[in-house]
Amino acid sequence: MDESATLKMAKLSRELKAKGIDIIDLSLGEPDFDTPEHIRESAKKAIDIGYSHYTPVSGYLDVREAISKKFADENNLHFSPDQIVVSTGAKQSLINVVLCLVNPDEEVILPAPYWVSYKAMVQMAEGISIVLPTTIETDFKISPAQLEAAITPKTKLIIFSSPCNPTGTVYSHDELKALADVIASHEDLYVVSDEIYEKINFMGTHTSIASFENIKDRVIVVNGLSKGYAMTGWRLGYIGAPLFIAKACDKLQGQFTSATN
């Protein structure tokens, strides 16, 4: 398995900066502002009152209730706290889901360009990545026909992001609805919607593909606090998922990291 390209570039950038070289670092998705003050103060208070022990595997109930409310208020998505798993960053959320869903030799569709770790995660699950190319002329978006043509009896999952990392492309409501209609016609196909860049969006209104009734029970939404709140080092991500997937991720995470972070 190859080293993460973004982490490799970030390491090289730090090494060059240490030598006094002026570097513009476009590797990690690091916001250019600090964690908001009210969050920092709340974290200090939490330390003072003893929040320094193991959490439940999926996260404290009040945290999962807050995430459930966020989904409802901001995304019109309805996940119970039992359907939410908080993890050590959205990256762990993603690999949890891939390992829980993808069996050896099953196919995972990746619209390109895609975040560099998606393909490695599929490799870890012994799955097969099916890459769908896009172009600047298509605004780096896949079409419903392109998606339909890529689906086979071995297809288990599609992973995509909107807003997209790395292109910044945002799928419109109608574009997502057209993709959802294709997915709905394949009852064994699941979707991972990586929405970590939800709040860094300069292209239009964010819509989650999980909001469409015909596929909502087969969509796993991945999000976190790293990008929108400049909390990359805090390592806090989460999923909203069908209950059986959330339970599987809880079991897997209990063996990997024991607790949330």
Query: What is the per-residue pLDDT across 181-218, written as a single tens digit (0 to 9) for each?
Result: 999 999 999 999 999 999 998 877 899 999 999 999 99
Distances (CA, A) of 115 to 4, 52, 91: 10, 33, 11
Query: Does the structure show a pLDDT above 80 at 20?
Result: yes
C-alpha separations of 72 from 37, 66, 69, 110, 201 in Å: 25, 10, 5, 28, 20
Band the pLDDT of 26: cuts 50, 70, 90: confident
Q: What is the mean pLDDT of residues 115-144?
A: 97
Return the pLDDT at 211: 97
Check pLDDT > 90 for residue 3: no
Domains and CATH numbers, the chain: 56-256 (3.40.640.10)
The single-letter code of the amino acid at 131 is: V
Distance from the Cα of residue 206 to its chain's centroid: 15
Block residue for tokens 């172009």? 135
Beta strand 237-240 with 190-194: parallel, antiparallel or unpaired? unpaired
Q: What percent of the chain has a predicted confidence (pLDDT) above 90? A: 89
| For residue 133, cis peptide bond before it (omega within 30 degrees of 0) | no
Q: Answer whether the bond into residue 163 is a cis peptide, omega within 30°.
A: yes
State the pLDDT confidence band at 43, using cuts at 50, 70 and 90: very high
Tokens read off for 123: 């490799």
- Mean pLDDT taken over the chain: 95
Predicted pLDDT of residue 6? 86
Report the alpha-carbon distance of residue 224 to residue 92 in Å, rounded. 11
Under DSSP, is residue 260 helix (H, G, I), strand (E, B) or coil?
A: coil
Is the C-alpha dihedral spanning 239, 85, 51, 256 positive or negative? negative
